[in-house]
Amino acid sequence: VAAMPKRFENVTEDEFRGMLINPDRLKARSGSMPSAPLKETNDPTDPLPAQFDFRDEYPHCVSPVFDQGSCGGCWAFSAIGMFGSRRCAVGIDKAAVLYSQQHLISCSTENFGCSGGDFFPTWSFLTQTGATTAECVKYVDYGSSVAAACPTTCDDGSQIQFYKAHGYGQLSKSMPAIMQMLVSGGPVQTMIVVYADLLYYAGGVYRHTYGPISNGLHALEMVGYGTTDDGTDYWTIKNSWGSDWGEDGYFRIVRGVNECRIEDEIYAAYFE
Torsions phi, psi for 244 (to 5 deg): -80, -20
Q: How far is CA 131 from CA 54, 56, 79, 221, in A?
A: 22, 26, 10, 17
Sequence-distant (6+) residues with CB within 8 A of 30 are none
Active-site position among 111, 114, 136, 218: 218
CA 245: distance to chain centroid? 16
Nearest to 206 by CA among 244, 254, 145, 272: 254
Contact call for residues 129 and 162 (beta carbons, < 8 A): yes
Quote the CA–CA distance of 145 and 141 in Å, as a whole number.
7
H or E element, residue 53: strand 52-53
Quote the CA–CA distance of 44 and 173 in Å, as a whole number.
17
Burial of 41 (0-12, 13-18, 19+ CB in 10 A): exposed
Contact call for residues 82 and 189 (beta carbons, < 8 A): yes
Q: What is the DSSP letter of 68?
A: -
- Return the bridge partners of 169, or none: 268
Contact call for residues 154 and 136 (beta carbons, < 8 A): yes
Task: Examine the residue annotation and report whether 22 is marked as an active-site residue of this protein.
Answer: no
Task: Examine the residue annotation and report whether 114 is marked as an active-site residue of this protein.
Answer: no
Active-site position among 74, 88, 107, 136: 74
Going 78 to 84 to 85 to 86, the CA torsion angle's sign is: positive
DSSP helix/strand/coil, 77: helix
Active-site position among 88, 136, 154, 239: 239
Task: Examine the residue annotation and report whether 218 is marked as an active-site residue of this protein.
Answer: yes
Catalytic residues: 74, 218, 239
